[in-house]
Amino acid sequence: MPRLTYAQAACAALAEAMRADARVVALGEDVGRGGIFAQYRGLAQEFGPQRVIDTPISEATIMGAAVGMALNGLKPVVEMRVVDFALCAMDEIVNQAAKARYMFGGQGRVPLVARMPNGLWGASAAQHSQSLEAWFAHLPGVVVVTPSTPADNYALLHAAIASGDPVVYMEHKELWGLEGEVPDGLRVRLGEAAVRRPGSDLTLVTWSSTLHRALEAADAAAQAGISVEVIDLRTIWPWDRETVLASCAKTKRLLVAHEAIQAAGFGAEIAATAAETLGIAVRRLGAPRVPVGYSKPLEDEARVGTDRILAAIDALAAVGGRHRSAARG
């Protein structure tokens, strides 16, 4: 079982998909040089410039070309560098890629994967540190994926390329160097969450980089006698209602934590669904509605860290008397 970084795992998955299917191509700025996070390293040397295509600095052009490629039978993997830059291509994503299958009665499909590295990026300030998964979850016609581990970045990229529909693929900007075991041939299905830590007192749903802070918080809560079940959503749309609601029915409490701004974040959809379906206690934890600052103290104010998650666990566990001080007693 090889041990790979998050970037190496994605590169391995893309290379395997390109070897298996000549219709899979990659295009974007700097992909021929391996990408800014080395997530394309070695691909240009193996597949050549006709399948690993360096493009001009124009996100609208890149995405528009990819939509045309997909409608003509190719399977483009589109590099947007960071999600913040993808905003320059919103018409091509929102009005073209997302709607073609519906508007043409299924006769025209757009099987592209738009890689949009998402989330906070240390010392990169407001225009490079946005978490915008809720924007795309709101968009009918696209799948939204947020891998949190090297193994999932490998398996979910394979699933995204094979899906046949446009996928907004949101790797986290600060996870590229994260290492982990990646089983050969690992496959997962889009729309299936992963229970990363079993528990019985409270359900904690999260995704992407926040998973790692959530696991730290759950470990700390366990030392005080609170058993937290941590669920990694992995796919924002479709999201795994069955796994989440089954856990909530067991624990009777739900906390959703995400790095994105809390106001109108996707956590609200999960919390509302659990409250409406089960009538349980729910809480949300997200970033304040402010741009991410460049200085570290300001940047830290926008981070949803372990301490904040642990405080939210404590507050929610207190509903019904199951808070940490009571657990100690």
Active-site positions read 128
CA distance 5 to 8: 5
CA distance 192 to 205: 13
CA distance 201 to 254: 10
Instruction: Answer whether 257's CB lies under 8 Å from 210's CB.
Output: yes
CA distance 243 to 140: 22
How many distinct helices (H) and strands (E) make up the chain? 14, 14
Integer angstrom CA distances of residue 154 from 17, 32, 35, 59, 322: 11, 20, 17, 25, 39
Angle at 182 between CA 132 and CA 134, to 5 degrees: 10
Instruction: Answer whether 257's CB lies under 8 Å from 309's CB.
Output: yes
Integer angstrom CA distances of residue 132 from 8, 116, 261, 324: 24, 10, 9, 33
Nearest of 225, 244, 233 to residue 327 by alpha carbon? 225
Alpha helices (H) in 105-165, listed in sequence order: 133-137, 150-162
Integer angstrom CA distances of residue 127 from 37, 130, 271, 309: 18, 7, 29, 26
